[in-house]
């Protein structure tokens, strides 16, 4: 896809920033009759909790919620697609899809809703908090999108910055450089750029979006061999093999690999070592005190094979460490 950059705020224009979008860029929403399907999971399913794990902040331009409907825009191997997903009756999921990738998106619906998530061998009774969270959240499933590069790019955005910074940069880049999603979406949604498109985002656009050079350069380097990287990940036999593929790339370490595997592949054992908050949260939930990455891995070791599941249950438990100080307000360098 060739995208005009006229809608993106440029460095300077007559002493002010240009922010007006280009009307020609945003195709009129496709309101033709969508393809529809019905999915009846064989397991309890909390649709919102399972799907919204994939959303990157409340302003994520790829995902929104309107009433009981979860809307998701994605760039599938067959093209851009929009999904509208809702539970019409207990245990009955209805989905409608628009766009050239709608068949692929509907085919991916069960995996997106956690159908591939296998909890065999998971023992929640090893800790009372995990047992209680598991009992109260029987519909929590591990979702997988199957879209490796989108998950990888998003994880790179989140390297070594606050969530507010990462989500803001993701929102701007996807809106400016992605593609308007089809369908009668409640708000304009956008699919991320193509792998080739990521390579050609201008440096000044990265800067205006608020993403630092180490992250933007890592996205571009990964995109240069993105197709081969995606094939290697999808051909890998297990999470460890996927991890070896991903961390072999410059600028991609264990944290980025784990975040990618959790979202794209629904890896039940992915642990984001190096996260600023995660070890503290796991330690506080399981012992009442903080710990570091090594301590977190020791605490999670009884659930080897299901450590991501435990992390998700800790998040669902509502137990979190009390904040010890004021929130960080990062300085905005985009106007410099």
pLDDT score at 317: 96
Question: Is residue 20 assigned to a domain?
Answer: no
Domain closes at, from 116, 136, 156: 136
Question: Is residue 21 assigned to a domain?
Answer: no
Report the CATH number that the domain containing residue 106 is assigned in CATH.
Answer: 3.30.310.20
Domain that holds residue 108: 35-136
Contact predicate 63/4, CB 8 Å = no
Number of domains making up the chain: 2
> Please, where are the H alpha helices in the chain?
47-51, 102-112, 128-136, 148-157, 163-177, 195-199, 203-209, 213-224, 226-235, 239-247, 254-264, 278-287, 293-300, 307-317
Report the CATH number that the domain containing residue 210 is assigned in CATH.
Answer: 1.10.340.30
Shared domain for 182 and 294, answered yes or no, is yes
Buried b (16+ CB within 10 A) or exposed e, 115-142: bbbebeebebeebeebeebbeebebbbb
Structure token digits, residue 166: 């990462």
pLDDT score at 26: 56
pLDDT score at 322: 79
Question: Is residue 167 assigned to a domain?
Answer: yes
pLDDT score at 6: 45
Q: Is the dihedral of CA 265, 270, 276, 278 positive or negative?
A: positive
Shared domain for 152 and 121, answered yes or no, is no
Q: What DSSP letter does each residue of 203-267 carry, written as one string?
A: HHHHHHHT--HHHHHHHHHHHHTHHHHHHHHHH-SSHHHHHHHHHTSTT--HHHHHHHHHHHS--
Shared domain for 171 and 205, answered yes or no, is yes
Question: Is residue 141 assigned to a domain?
Answer: no
Q: Tens of pLDDT along 10-52?
A: 433 322 223 333 333 555 556 678 999 999 999 999 999 999 9
Shared domain for 161 and 115, answered yes or no, is no
Question: Is residue 236 assigned to a domain?
Answer: yes
Question: Is residue 323 assigned to a domain?
Answer: no
Q: Tens of pLDDT along 43-63?
A: 999 999 999 999 999 999 999
Shared domain for 154 and 129, answered yes or no, is no
The residues near 210 (Cβ < 8 Å, ≥ 6 apart) are 165, 168, 169, 172, 332, 333, 334
Shared domain for 254 and 132, answered yes or no, is no
Question: Is residue 19 assigned to a domain?
Answer: no
pLDDT score at 3: 40
pLDDT score at 20: 32
Shared domain for 47 and 104, answered yes or no, is yes
Q: What are phi and psi of 27, to 5 degrees?
A: -60, 150
Q: What parts of the chain have a pLDDT lower than 50?
A: 1-24, 328
Shared domain for 215 and 286, answered yes or no, is yes
Question: Is residue 86 assigned to a domain?
Answer: yes
Shared domain for 257 and 111, answered yes or no, is no
Shared domain for 47 and 75, answered yes or no, is yes
Shared domain for 233 and 121, answered yes or no, is no
How many residues does the structure list for the chain?
A: 336
Shared domain for 131 and 153, answered yes or no, is no
Residue 39's SS3 state is: strand
**pTM here?**
0.88
pLDDT score at 276: 87
pLDDT score at 27: 55
């Amino acid at each position: 896809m060739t995208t005009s950059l006229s809608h993106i705020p440029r460095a300077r224009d007559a002493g002010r920033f240009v922010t007006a979008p280009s009307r020609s860029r945003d195709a009129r929403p496709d309101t033709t009759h969508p393809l529809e399907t019905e999915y009846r999971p064989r397991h309890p399913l909390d649709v919102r909790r399972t799907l919204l794990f994939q959303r990157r902040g409340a302003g994520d331009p790829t995902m929104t919620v309107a009433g009981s409907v979860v809307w998701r825009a994605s760039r599938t191997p067959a093209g851009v697609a929009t999904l509208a997903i809702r539970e019409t009756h207990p245990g009955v999921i209805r989905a409608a899809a628009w766009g050239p990738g709608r068949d692929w998106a509907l085919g991916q619906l069960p995996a997106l809703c956690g159908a591939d998530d296998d909890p065999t061998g998971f023992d929640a009774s090893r800790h009372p908090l995990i047992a209680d969270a598991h009992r109260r959240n029987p519909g929590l499933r591990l979702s997988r999108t199957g879209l490796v590069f989108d998950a990888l790019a998003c994880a790179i955005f989140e390297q070594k910055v606050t969530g507010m910074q990462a989500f803001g940069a993701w929102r701007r880049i996807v809106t400016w450089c992605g593609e308007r999603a089809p369908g009668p979406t409640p708000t304009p949604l956008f699919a991320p750029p193509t792998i080739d498109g990521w390579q050609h985002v201008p440096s000044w656009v990265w800067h205006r979006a608020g993403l630092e050079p180490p992250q933007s350069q890592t996205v571009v380097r990964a995109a240069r061999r993105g197709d081969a990287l995606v094939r290697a990940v999808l051909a890998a036999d297990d999470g460890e093999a996927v991890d070896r593929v991903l961390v072999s790339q410059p600028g991609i370490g264990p944290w980025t690999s784990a975040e990618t595997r959790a979202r794209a592949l629904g890896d039940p054992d992915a642990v984001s070592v190096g996260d600023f908050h995660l070890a503290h949260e796991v330690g506080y939930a399981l012992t009442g005190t903080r710990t570091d990455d090594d301590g977190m891995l020791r605490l999670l070791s009884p659930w080897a094979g299901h450590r991501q599941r435990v992390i998700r249950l800790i998040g669902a438990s509502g137990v979190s460490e009390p904040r010890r100080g004021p929130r960080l307000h990062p300085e905005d360098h985009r106007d410099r």
